[in-house]
Amino acid sequence: MKLILKKSGSLFFEQTDERPEPQKGYKILRVLCCAVCRTDAKMWRLGHRDLLLPRVLGHEIAAVDDSGTLYTVWPGQACGACAYCREERENLCEEMKIIGFHSDGGFAGFVRVSEKSLIPVGEDLSPELVTFAEPAGCVLHALKMLQPQKSERAIIYGGGVVGMIAALMLREKGCSVTVIEQSQAKISRLAALAAEKEIELCKDTVNADFDLAINCCASHIAFSLCVTKLRKGGRLGFFSGLTKNEEIDTNLLNLIHYKELVLMGSYGPRKADMLEALSFCSQQKNGISQLIERVVQPFEVEELLPSILAGERLKYIVQMSGDGRTQVAQEDNRPQVVACPPELQRGLLKSARVKALIHKIVPTSDNTRGAAQKKVDMKTKPLGALGRLEALAVQISCIQKSLTPDVTGKRMFVFAGDHGVVEEGVSAYPASVTVQMVENFLGGGAAINVFCRQYGIDLAVVDMGVNADFDAHPLLVQKKVAYGTNNFAITEAMSCSQAIAAIEKGAESFLEKQREAPCRIVGLGEMGIGNTSSATAIIAAATGRSIADIVGRGTGVDDRGLLRKIEVLEKALHLHKPSGTDGLLLLQTLGGYELGGICGAVLAAASEGCCVVLDGIISTAAGLLAYLICPEVKDYLVAGHRSVEVGQKAALDFMGLEPVVDLGFRLGEGTGAAITMNLVELSCSMMREMATFDEAGVDGSTH
């Protein structure tokens, strides 16, 4: 088998046992596994100056020859004759050829490799850990130039695989290490490793005067912060280059002069670096193992590339063939996102409407993101001084593909439905409260009515599955699938066709209103007694977290009621054993009609390029279903607020989202989303109206 990049954004899976033609000076290896590097994802999306198509990518390789000898591969093929090769700096060779760029790489059953590039593995390492020799070699090469000393203080920007490898190496050398990472999902995932190795892993730090700084993410802001955080005479390792076509335009570069900083660039490893890196991997088996996101099959790779490109995940390793060796035991066995492979979500393939929506959803533009961030940075303020408001401004700019974003037209949907699981005693309130609260919405007396009036948000109430009928009302959208779900503690919550109908009707609700009066931002709330049970079960199944870890009190059950809720939900998961990667199946077995409606509305809004603001745990669980069905929706999602329900955090961490506000809310209805919609509108005004340093005649160097 092999994965062939035929054109930008198109990875073709070919089932073949064909071996490359023999060639003098080369050896044919059978690939056991090959890790996915962010460079692979960038070439898939953006191409590369040295890339000749079609091409088999992959350069982090573990493979065996016909005798069973295990090798890793130095990706370079150096000429051996130029000045750099003679200086033993073959990684800078003038005639360098790189496997996976100039020749076919490791995403194949077999690979042809120059004998000069082969590195026998003498260490006791699994093939999965062998694939870390290349990134570890890159880091080792950089640190050799930086020459870290015992007791020095180091700061690393970027807590991905490379950043954490650098942190582990620096800790081995006795350095104090701080790693700055913006993804809460990564911080949560790596918290145990960081604690074990005494690495400070956080989103930001007020500490300064570091001896060493290394930028391990492609961000001009990270580079600038490295410069500011260093003490006089400090050393900066410029490890990760900037994003393609990105520029640095800042007076902070003058600090290199004033502080007499040492700036060292680092490109790639020498062969000797990779050989040495194998020893490091052997000594740090446990730590390196925790950097593995998941071992995947070749057909899954293309669906994972967007999240890899976005820097949202750790290391995926592609299993190309087996050799009977023991694989790495991963402590975190969370199911990961694979969008609609043929053997999953078969029901959705029957829905032309859902398929059409998914087809229209595309990731937001990296080019727009860079331009928007640059515009925000040049406003009359210190970098990052407006906190989350800046991130919101950049996100909405990317969604609208405009540096002057506007959210004229704001709409809130409250989806309502009843739940059969209420008969198990999981709620403090009877199911009749759902009907009463919908009538309260229609009468204008609920909290969400007040919030929407205050912020000028159009409100619509959608009956997806309430166990009653309502008279016609201007606020009411009638999309009832059934009069409540089944009790999912004893059977599936709904049929497959009902789950599809819920998604379709939720999408219809958004699209019909959109045709009447377009909106640029939409909030999604809910009402349904028993729906925190449904949401918690879905989140547990999708994230791999236990019910006991993430269950909450919902409408306010007492301690005895909470124990009953845990018992019921654990029984339901044991009964259904649903696939955590199949959003449709999770909705069918554990969901509610209002969750399906929200899921459909998310897909529809994203397909129309509309920003989606989620609310509490139920809205977030429904957003998670949409994310499982189509991971690209993440770019359009904003987490409105942090709910008191702890399960919401598990879902947000899984999707890599961070809530905008924390007001201790646990109401639902869309109340937290309404507040954040107002903040998004404010961020757009800031983006359009706040002056830059040049416009205001302010010297940016003073900020």
Known catalytic residues?
669
Residues 6+ apart with CB under 8 A from 282: 123, 124, 125, 129
CA distance readout (Å), 530 to 419, 425, 482, 626: 6, 9, 16, 21
Cis amide linkage into residue 306, ω under 30° from 0: no
Amino acid identity, position 287: G
- Give dist(CA 522, CA 388) in Å, integer: 19
539 within 8 A of 532, measured Cβ to Cβ: no
60 within 8 A of 106, measured Cβ to Cβ: yes
Question: Nearest Cα to 59, choosing from 5, 15, 108, 125?
Answer: 108
H-helix or E-strand containing 183?
Answer: none
**3-state DSSP call for residue 633?**
helix
CA distance readout (Å), 412 to 150, 169, 455, 605, 657: 56, 50, 11, 12, 20
- Give dist(CA 370, CA 377) in Å, integer: 11
Across-strand partners of 460?
A: 413
Amino acid identity, position 342: P
Q: Are strands 60-64 and 70-73 parallel, antiparallel or unpaired?
A: antiparallel
- Give dist(CA 619, CA 594) in Å, integer: 9
Residues 6+ apart with CB under 8 A from 59: 34, 37, 39, 40, 73, 75, 98, 99, 100, 101, 105, 106, 134
The DSSP secondary structure of 521-534, one letter per residue, reads EEEEEEE-TTHHHH
136 within 8 A of 287, measured Cβ to Cβ: no
- Give dist(CA 648, CA 620) in Å, integer: 6
- Give dist(CA 378, CA 391) in Å, integer: 14
The pair of structure tokens assigned to 679 is 């903040």
412 within 8 A of 452, measured Cβ to Cβ: yes
Q: What angle do CA 238, 239, 243 make, to 5 degrees?
A: 90
Sheet holding 262-265, edge to edge: 200-202, 176-180, 153-157, 210-215, 230-238, 262-265
The pair of structure tokens assigned to 627 is 């994310």
The pair of structure tokens assigned to 126 is 């699994």
Burial 297-308, CB ≥16 within 10 A → b, else e: ebbbbbbbbbbb
